Amino acid sequence: MTKAQDLTGKVALVTGGTRGIGLETVRGLAQLGATVVIGARDANKAIEVAGQLKQDGLKVESIKIDVNVHEDHVAAYKYLDENYGKLDILINNAGIMLDQENVSIDVVNRTSTLPIKILRDTFDANFFAQVELTQILLPLIRKSAAGRIVNLSSILGSLTLHSDPNSFIYSVKTFAYNASKSALNAFTVHLAEELKDTPIKVNSIHPGWVRTRLGGDKAQYDEVEGSRSSILAATLPENGPTGGFFHLEDALPW
């Protein structure tokens, strides 16, 4: 990866963009010149956040997107098509962890007893929603001269590291969350191969261990630092990678 590019004239959509890594990704892309659309489940909060960023001179809009609601995906397509006629950058940022409140406290492996509802709800939000929204918006991304799709994964989705007893994540067995991110990584690999002969690049990123509601207050990075990998993947040059898994410029094991 290389340093972030000027994004003047580009249109970006960031799901889950009202707080945390998502908000800082919105801010960072807008500071580079993009028009950024915040997609959020809470429409009023999205309007409020967009208004605050506009006061800073940034080009930010908002729409309601509950990633689990098909109709919201369709409405997002219609909004982007009618207002911009394309989508240059899609950041699939929204996600949940239901295994436990955050990963900054001791993790108990309860794979054998985890309620199936937690597994299904996690996959709905972290995997199926990302796939569906991307599929619906892909015709608009194809209209971009250099489309970029960024899937917010996690190092906890690495099967290589989870199967290594010497790995630093070996004991962090939050099954539903981890498996949903592994599945999202598989989507990245498959979609990137399908689009390999187009200008579109598809990558998964690990933002790092970030001080958010999910990461907890003992995490290594603040939210601005946590947004850097998303912004780098969204601003890849023509010769940049596709179908990869990255933290900043470092490739990660699947």
Residue 176 located in a structural domain: yes
Select from 39, 54, 158, 160 the least CA-distant residue to 89.
39
**177 has catalytic annotation:** yes
pLDDT of 180 reads: 98
CB proximity list for 20: less than 8 A, separation 6 or greater: 210, 212, 213, 214, 223, 226
Is the residue at 5 inside a domain?
no
Sign of the torsion formed by the C-alpha atoms of 231, 232, 236 and 240: negative
Q: What is the pLDDT along the chain (254 residues), one digit of tens a residue?
A: 445 579 999 999 999 999 999 999 999 999 999 999 999 999 999 999 999 999 999 999 999 999 999 999 999 999 999 999 999 999 999 999 999 866 666 889 999 999 999 999 999 999 999 999 999 999 999 999 999 999 999 999 999 999 999 999 999 999 999 999 999 999 999 999 999 999 999 999 999 875 455 544 554 555 788 899 999 999 999 999 999 999 999 999 99
Query: What confidence score (pLDDT) does residue 182 get?
Result: 98
Distance of CA 236 to the CA centre of its chain: 15
Q: How far is CA 145 from the centre of its chain?
A: 21
Judged by DSSP in three states, 35 sits in strand
> Other C-beta atoms within 10 Å of 16: how many?
25
Domain of 78, CATH number, reads 3.40.50.720
Task: Give the N- to C-terminal CA distance of the chain in Å, as an integer.
Answer: 18
Residue-range definition of the domain harbouring residue 72: 11-251
Amino acid identity of residue 190, one-letter, is H
Residue 222: the pLDDT is 59
Residue 103: the pLDDT is 66
- Enclosing H/E stretch for 62: strand 60-64
Is 2 part of a structural domain of the chain?
no
Helix, strand, coil percentages in the chain from 3-state DSSP, rounded to 5:
40, 15, 45
Radius of gyration of the CA atoms of the chain, in A: 17
> Using an 8 Å Cβ cutoff, are 246 and 11 in contact?
no
**Do residues 148 and 90 make contact, with C-beta atoms less than 8 angstroms apart?**
yes
Domain-located, residue 4: no
Specify if 81 maps to a domain.
yes
Tokens describing residue 20: 């945390």
Task: Report how many domains make up the chain.
Answer: 1
Question: Is residue 247 assigned to a domain?
Answer: yes
Looking at residue 104, what is its pLDDT?
63
The reported pTM is 0.93
Position 220 scores a pLDDT of 58
Q: How far apart are CA 92 and CA 89, in angstroms?
A: 10
Q: Is 198 helix (H, G, I), strand (E, B) or coil?
A: coil
Q: Which residue, 101, 157, 148, is CA-closest to 127?
A: 157
Inside any domain, residue 206:
yes
Residue 6 counted as domain residue: no
The set of residues, in sequence order, having a beta carbon less than 8 Å from that of 242 and lying 6+ positions away, is: 192, 195, 196, 200, 201, 202, 203
Catalytic residue among 77, 84, 177, 221: 177
For 116, the token pair is 């199936």
pLDDT at position 111 = 96
